[in-house]
Amino acid sequence: MVQEFSENSALTHLDASGEARMVDVSAKQASVREAVAAAQVRMSVQTMEAIESGNAPKGDVLGTARIAGIMAAKQTWMLIPLCHPLPLQKVEVQITADTELPGYQIRARVKTKAETGVEMEALTAVSVAALTLYDMAKALEKSMQIEAIRLISKTGGKSGDYQRVD
């Protein structure tokens, strides 16, 4: 049985017949939009020490992960179905050692002036940075854990601002 959907349905990514579609944002006003996302990679103290001292078998773990996160944000529209290609004006990925974890905290800030937001780009950036960190250090430890991928904040757009409260 096919459920009928109206164009005014709250399900914005479905057309009138229930098929997935890319939302038409052409009537929206371009505005400055920014999103911040975070993730963490938990590992042993020994793995973290090897990364910090530059002794990982594949080379510069953190630099490679940072570049991968930036590149991923720019390619989000190719990875996530129904995402719009966006002109990104800023992509910043920070990877910080966290001895209490132990491991690394990853944070991405993405900014654009467009008709739709950049939450997916920020989330993709931290996800791919975390995956790359894992890939670069897996020879040291295969039990590392990628955790807590989340949106921290977003500004701009019709839905307004959002700030995560932990």
- Stretch 33-40: mean pLDDT: 97
Tokens of 17: 């017949």
Residue among 60, 135, 161, 166 flagged as catalytic: 135
- pLDDT score recorded for residue 32: 93
User: Is 84 within any annotated ligand binding site?
Assistant: yes
| CATH class, 31-156 region | alpha beta
93, 128 Cβ separation under 8 angstroms = no
Question: Do the annotations mark residue 144 as ligand-binding?
Answer: no
Backbone torsions φ then ψ of 36, nearest 5 degrees: -125, 130
Query: Does 78 show up as a binding residue in the annotation?
Result: no
The token pair at 153 is 């904040």
Average confidence score pLDDT of the chain: 89
Q: What pLDDT, in 10s, does the model give residues 81-131?
A: 888 899 999 999 999 999 999 999 999 999 999 988 899 999 999 999 999
Task: Report how far residue 27's alpha carbon sits from residue 125's, in angstroms, rounded to the nearest whole number.
Answer: 28
What is the residue type of 81? P
Instruction: In whole angstroms, give the CA distance from residue 157 to residue 160.
Output: 6
Query: What are φ and ψ of residue 13, in 5° steps?
Result: -100, 15
Task: Decide if pLDDT at 30 tops 90.
Answer: no
Are 84 and 25 a contacting pair, CB within 8 Å? yes
Tell me how long the chain is.
166
Q: What is the arithmetic mean of pLDDT over 41-64?
A: 95
- Whole-structure pTM value: 0.87
- Looking at residue 17, what is its pLDDT? 74
Question: What is the model's pLDDT at position 160?
Answer: 85
Q: Which two tokens stand for residue 5?
A: 């959907």
Longest CA–CA span in the chain (Å) reads 60
Of 37, 36, 47, 35, the C-alpha closest to 145 is 47
Q: What is the DSSP letter of 18?
A: S
Domain definitions of the chain by residue range:
31-156
pLDDT, average across residues 45-60: 94
13 known member of a binding site: no
Of 43, 35, 11, 48, nearest in space to 89 by CA:
35
Tell me what pLDDT residue 15 has: 67
- 22 or 80, which is more confident? 80
135 is catalytic: yes
Q: Find the range with the poorest average confidence among 18-22, 75-79, 117-121, 134-138.
A: 18-22
- Among 7-16, 126-135, 140-149, the range scoring the smallest mean pLDDT is 7-16
